[in-house]
Structure 1
Amino acid sequence: MKRLTYLLLSCATLATATSCSKDEATPTGPTEYQVEYRISSPSAPVSDYISYDNESGGTTTLNNVPLPATYRFKRTMKRGDHLSLLASLDGGTAASEITAAILLDGREVKKETGRGTDAQAVPVYVIGQ
């Protein structure tokens, strides 16, 4: 249920960010980007669940992933397209922590850290944000 809540919040954030975007330096036409996702945790050796937007714009879902983990691919996107990543820990402690970052062309554009027994990090980035 927590994952559904976070995904719905991510979609709401995405809709708001897309409508508010004013960065004129970002190309509006399709541009190829080197996308990189990084997931790490100082308190857990494994993430129970990772889900991310992949190179085709679809979703890749993985379970029981050893950490740290990195995923890289090229994807052509335009202003308003988005990238999202969800990484979680299950059954941790209050001190559990997981961090997820989105990089475009080697530059970190979004990073989030989740803490607690069911820690989740859910960064979302909209091109032109």
Structure 2
Amino acid sequence: MKRLTYLLLSSLFLVTAAGCSKDDATPAGPREYQVEYRISSTTAPLSDYLSYDNESGGTTTLSNVPLPATYRFKRTMKQGDHLSLLASLDGGTAASEITAAILLDGREVKKETGRGADAQAVPVYVIGQ
């Protein structure tokens, strides 16, 4: 629950911040994107918790996901819409790490690596950022 709260608050902050800026170079109209999430770890065989924004804009939550994992879908979004992903390891060691990446139309737009016993990677991307 703590992880989900952190993810939702982070997403809300970034969406609010993105809504305050103006970037005339980025079209504001809706557009279909090919979304891809990639989760991997060189130190663990599975992620104990995974949560991501799905094709309908809702949240998909999974437990004990074998790594590496990839999720792909198409989603229509406009400037200010966001994508977020939370991947974690539980009960690892100080050397444990997990990496999560968000790709749009085959291009990596955000990537994070979490390290430590309870490693978390939480990339969030706002369209137009």
> Aligned residues, how many?
128
Q: The residue matched to 1:42 in structure 2 has which SS?
A: coil
Q: Deviations over 1:1-50 (max 9, x none)?
A: 64133542343233223323x43332211100000000000100000000
The answer for the alignment partner of 2:101 in structure 1 is 101
Q: Stretches of 4+ moved more than 4 A in 1?
A: none
Q: Which is further off, 102-111 or 23-32?
A: 23-32
Does structure 1 conserve the Cα–Cα contact (< 8 Å) formed by 2:7 and 2:84? Answer: no
How many Å separate the matches in 1 of 2:113 and 2:91? 17
User: Do structure 1's residue 5 and structure 2's residue 13 form an aligned pair?
Assistant: no
Question: Contact (CA 8 Å) 1:35, 1:72: kept in 2 or not?
Answer: yes
8 A contact 2:14–2:126 mirrored in 1:
no
How far apart, in 1, do the equivalents of 2:96 and 2:2 lie?
16
Identity percentage of aligned residues: 82
Look up the match of 2:52: 52
Q: Indicate the residue corresponding to 2:120 in structure 1.
A: 120
Structure 2 spans left out of the alignment, 5+ residues: none
Please tell me the residue identity of whatever aligns with 1:11: L
Does structure 2 conserve the Cα–Cα contact (< 8 Å) formed by 1:84 and 1:123? Answer: yes
1:78 aligns with 78
Cα distance in 1 for residues equivalent to 2:113 and 2:12: 18
Find the counterpart in structure 1 of residue 111 from structure 2.
111
Instruction: Assess if the C-alpha contact under 8 Å between 1:14 and 1:124 holds in 2.
Output: no
Residue 68 of structure 1 aligns with an amino acid whose one-letter code is: P
Change (3 A) 1:114 1:7: farther
